[in-house]
Structures are given as C-alpha cells and as structure tokens.
Amino acid sequence: MPLDPLPDWLIPRRREVGARLRAARDHANLTQMELGNRVGRDHRTIHRWEHGYRVPTLDDLLLLADALGIQPREFFE
C-alpha cells in the first residue's frame, strides 16, 4: 500500500533522477521523441519522467540505461 502522505524527500529525489535522465539523454544527443522510440514509450512519458511527474518502472530504467549506453545505477548516483 502506498504511503500517504509521501515522505518529504521523495519528490525532490524523483526530480534528481529525472535530471540525470535528461542529462544522459542530452549527452547521447537524443530528443525525447528519439529516446521514446528506442524504449517503446511516448515522448510525453519521457517528459514526465524527466520532470519527476511520474517515475519509470525498473524495466523502463533498464531499457533507458541500455538505450543511453549507461549503467542503471547512474540514475541514482
């Protein structure tokens, strides 16, 4: 069962992960649409992940890391 309310640290942490996703995407010189096509997600979903509005699943994180040529842990370091 999800926590309600969410811990104070959770939203800023989502944004940090999203910022790392965006930085990795920019470093790979990909648009949100190009990355979305590589991982089978809509570009709007990529946008939501990058801004911390939504969170990718573990499977999505693994696909993203593969598409970006990075290790999954880099989203969290």
Count structural domains, the chain.
1
For each successive 10 residues of the chain (77 residues), what is the average pLDDT? 80 95 98 98 98 95 98 95
pLDDT at 2 (0 to 100)? 67
Phi-psi region of 30 (alpha: psi -120 to 50; beta: other; left: phi over 0): beta
Q: Please state the pTM of the whole predicted model.
A: 0.90
Cα–Cα distance for residue pair 1/59, rounded to 1 Å? 21
**Is residue 3 domain-resident?**
no
How far from each other are the two terminal CA atoms of the chain, in whole angstroms? 27
pLDDT at 6 (0 to 100)? 80
CATH number at residue 49: 1.10.260.40
pLDDT at 5 (0 to 100)? 84
Cα–Cα distance for residue pair 55/49, rounded to 1 Å? 6
**Is residue 21 domain-resident?**
yes
